[in-house]
């Protein structure tokens, strides 16, 4: 299989930087599109494991040029607030979405560093 027809793959993990620990149990949705103006198509979903990782997202379909990860962080952030004894409050970030360009045959590890009032994403290895 040439690199032009090889599928790309995606993995992710979430680190709660305010707690210094992985964010377990966060729902993650993967959507894809075959061009900048094409419609997004649902492609896979997962939930972070005890180590904050999603290792079971499906390979991207041939022809994918963009992928999007949507992290449903509100339930996780609210559970951290409740566990810490603080009063329940609305999450500042109910979800985090990141879009990135992909090339055939490459692996994309896209970690999310999360805290209650900020986040960062990057291409990992």
Per domain, the residue ranges of the chain are: 9-121
User: What global pTM score does this model have?
Assistant: 0.89
Among 1-10, 74-83, 93-102, the range scoring the smallest mean pLDDT is 1-10
Sorting pLDDT into bands at 50, 70 and 90, what band is 58?
very high
The tokens describing 72, both together, are: 């449903």
Cβ contacts of residue 31 below 8 Å, gap of 6+? 40, 41, 42, 43, 67, 68, 70
The second-level CATH assignment, the architecture, of 9-121 is: Sandwich (2.60)
pLDDT digits (tens, 9 = 90+) for 16-42: 999 999 999 999 999 999 999 999 999
- Check: CB of residue 57 under 8 Å from CB of residue 13: no
Instruction: Give, in degrees to the nearest 5, the angle at Cα 33 between 31 and 37.
Output: 130
């Amino acid at each position: 299989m040439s690199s032009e027809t090889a599928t790309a793959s995606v993995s992710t993990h979430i680190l709660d930087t305010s707690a210094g620990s992985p964010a377990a149990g966060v729902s993650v949705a993967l959507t894809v599109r075959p061009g900048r103006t094409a419609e997004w198509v649902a492609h896979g979903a997962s939930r972070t494991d005890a180590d904050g990782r999603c290792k079971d997202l499906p390979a991207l379909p041939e022809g994918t040029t963009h992928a999007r990860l949507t992290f449903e962080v509100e339930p996780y952030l609210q559970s951290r607030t409740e566990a810490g004894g603080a009063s329940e409050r609305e999450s500042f970030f109910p979800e985090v979405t990141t879009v990135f360009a992909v090339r055939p045959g490459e692996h994309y590890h896209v970690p999310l560093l999360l805290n209650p009032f900020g986040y960062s994403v990057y291409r990992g290895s």
